Amino acid sequence: MSVKASTVVQRIDDALDAEKREKARMYIGASGIGNTCDALQAFSLRGFPNREPDARLKRIFQLGHILEDEVVKDLKRADFSVYEKDGLTGKQHAYYEWGGHISCHTDGLIDIGDDNLRILEIKSMNDSSHQKFKKSGVKISHPQYFAQLQTMMAMSNIHSSFFIAINKNTSSYAAEIIEYDEFEWAALKHRIETVLHGNAAKIATDESDWRCRGCFKADVCWHDAEVEVRCSTCAFANPKEDGGWQCGKHEREAFEVCEDYEIYKPKNRELI
């Protein structure tokens, strides 16, 4: 039986598309804090589902993880001390605030030779993005990564970080040492608190905005997408500082869904 090459490619995509959807995170993560939409942060905090990425995008994510591992190997090959795992837990170095409602996981810690332990953050970039980083530095070229680093440094109390990026087209490296900036963190913390206190708003007035078209939370933000009914997705639930949720409707800890459940919606942009 003759089989077309295109059929093989389609089966690969179909297999990836059929994989079980990853459960949505239920916290504000450092990697997303640089996104300027407060509604996205609120949906992440409450565990609303993501729009499922297509097969191509899943492969991009997979390749990114593979390249991160290779970068760590290269750093160790060059005799730098890299600590990918927490010696106490055997897992990624992780830091939490607000009872776990804010969370960050680092790629590791590194000593680049000056006896200063730094946060290690690894990214893979296409050639255009990599060249921009080399020319302008991460604060200008990739402000979302810069915000991620500031958040991780603030939460870990390790006030220096080493950012290294590998060019996916040429396999060349570029790197930068980033120091903690208390003013940058103050601005980020203000945004986080806006979300935690229930005042998040959409960044745009309609879904055609370029910032919404590629957003993983667009379906729950602009449409009646299927959402798990639980206290965290209820409009009356508020995150507690020590973890868990408080029901503002009944003034008690939110531990089970009641008949007054009402799905959470962020504020519309025109109302702010």
Residue 162 β-bridge partners: 120, 177
| Percent helix / strand / coil, the chain, rounded to 5 | 40, 20, 40
Residue 125 counted as domain residue: yes
At 41 the pLDDT is 96
What residue numbers bound the domain in which 126 lies? 16-271
pLDDT-based confidence at residue 263 (cuts at 50, 70, 90) = very high
* pLDDT, tens only, 150-191: 999 999 999 999 999 999 999 999 999 999 999 999 999 999
Would 202 be classed as within a structural domain?
yes
Listed range (21-30, 108-117, 187-196, 204-213) with the worst mean pLDDT: 21-30
Count of other CB atoms within 10 angstroms of residue 77: 8
Is the pLDDT assigned to residue 1 strictly greater than 80? no
CB 120 within 8 A of CB 108: yes
Instruction: State the CATH number of the domain containing residue 247.
Output: 3.90.320.10
CA distance 197 to 183: 21
Mean pLDDT calculated for residue range 103-115: 94
The Cα 212–Cα 207 span in angstroms is 6
Please check whether residue 52 is in contact with residue 16, taking contact to mean a CB–CB distance below 8 angstroms: no
Asked if residue 2 is part of any domain, the answer here is no
Q: Say what angle helices 143-156 and 182-196 make with each other, to 10 degrees.
A: 90
Domain count, the chain: 1
Residue 11 forms part of a structural domain: no
Token code pair at residue 226: 């299927």
Interval 253-257 mean pLDDT: 90
**3 state DSSP class of 166:** strand
Helices (H), strands (E): how many in the chain? 10, 11
Single pTM value for the model: 0.90
